């Protein structure tokens, strides 16, 4: 058995807690004990946050005490939303998610770029990740190896829509923490397992959500074929920010 799967003791409380870290961060940085928005976005590429800042629609949130990231706020349909850019990879995403949920966040939406493994049968390019292959390390600290990393049933019921107006379709993803080890044999295996895309955060976020009973939804923006040809990684106008805003608006209406 790999050592990463040993000595996990899933029912045991952690000595190191996010709320205690943030207590010290607030003290050191003279940040008052206030709350972040109830709905927050993880923006791994950082394009949406950059766009909102450039047009003057986002401002830095002074309640976020994390040592490693900045949180900005903006409005969607008069609802205040938080966004944190450049949270890339499973361990970083869960570190930030842990801190968000003890800072006032109630819903976390991740929208990450992804590589296409199986071509979708739709022209929609946002995939609602319903299950993610656990090919990273972080999820194994939250869930036993035999448990799948899946979206929560209650939040899925709100988002499982076949409406033509929805910007997403349901799909299975492959979460890796080694993108430059996406070999042809591993891609072939994922294709056989019905995987639509590959990304770097979803399985760990879903494992954390299941273990801690948190509301998290992960989307993959299908943008590339792992740079197999020039002209890859195109996301659309303003690096996909306008469509991403539309997606987030649709999601918020369904989950609130």
Torsion of CA 75, 76, 80, 86, to 10 degrees: -80
Kindly state the tokens that stand for 15. Answer: 């000595």
How far apart (Å, rounded) are the C-alpha atoms in residues 142 and 216?
15
pLDDT at 164: 78
Angle between helical axes of 241-255 and 47-54 (0-180°, round to 10): 100
pLDDT at 141: 98
pLDDT at 1: 59
Domain extent listing, the chain: 17-226+233-255
- Long-range (24+ apart) CB contacts under 8 A made by 156-161 are 156/130, 158/254, 158/255, 159/128, 159/217, 159/251, 159/254, 159/255, 160/128, 161/254
CB 43 within 8 A of CB 84: yes
Q: Which residue shows structure tokens 């999820």? A: 139
Q: Name every residue whose Cβ is closer than 8 Å to that of residue 103 and which is 6 or more positions away in sequence.
A: 22, 35, 36, 63, 64, 65
Superfamily of structural domain 17-226+233-255: Nucleoside phosphorylase domain (3.40.50.1580)
Residue-level pLDDT, tens digit, the chain, 256 residues: 568 899 999 999 999 999 999 999 999 999 999 999 999 999 999 999 999 999 999 999 999 999 999 999 999 999 999 999 999 999 999 999 999 999 999 999 999 999 999 999 999 999 999 999 999 999 999 999 999 999 999 999 999 866 778 999 999 999 999 999 999 999 999 999 999 999 999 999 999 999 999 999 999 999 876 777 766 666 767 678 999 999 999 999 999 8
How far apart (Å, rounded) are the C-alpha atoms in residues 105 and 224?
31
pLDDT at 235: 75
Please indicate, yes or no, whether the overall pTM of this predicted structure exceeds 0.75: yes
């Amino acid at each position: 058995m790999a050592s990463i799967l040993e000595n996990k003791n899933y029912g045991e409380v952690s000595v190191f807690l996010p709320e205690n870290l943030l207590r010290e961060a607030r003290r050191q940085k003279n940040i008052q004990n206030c709350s972040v928005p109830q709905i927050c976005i993880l923006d791994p590429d950082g394009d949406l946050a950059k766009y909102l800042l450039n047009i003057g629609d986002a401002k830095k949130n002074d309640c976020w005490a994390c040592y490693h990231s900045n949180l900005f706020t903006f409005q969607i349909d008069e609802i205040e939303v938080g966004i944190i850019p450049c949270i890339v990879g499973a361990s970083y995403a869960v570190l930030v998610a842990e801190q968000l949920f003890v800072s006032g966040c109630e819903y976390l939406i991740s929208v990450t770029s992804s590589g296409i493994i199986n071509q979708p049968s739709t022209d929609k390019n946002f995939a609602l990740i319903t299950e993610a292959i656990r090919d990273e390390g972080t999820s194994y600290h939250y869930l036993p190896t035999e448990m799948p990393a899946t979206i929560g049933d209650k939040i899925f019921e709100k988002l499982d829509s076949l409406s033509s107006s929805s910007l997403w379709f349901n799909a299975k993803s492959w979460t890796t923490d080694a993108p430059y080890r996406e070999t042809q044999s591993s891609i072939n295996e994922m294709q056989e397992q019905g995987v639509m895309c590959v990304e770097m955060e979803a399985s760990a976020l879903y494992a954390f959500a299941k273990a801690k009973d948190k509301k998290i939804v992960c989307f993959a923006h299908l943008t590339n074929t792992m740079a197999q040809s020039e002209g890859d990684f195109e996301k659309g106008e303003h690096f996909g920010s306008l469509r991403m805003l539309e997606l987030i608006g649709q999601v918020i209406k369904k989950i609130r």
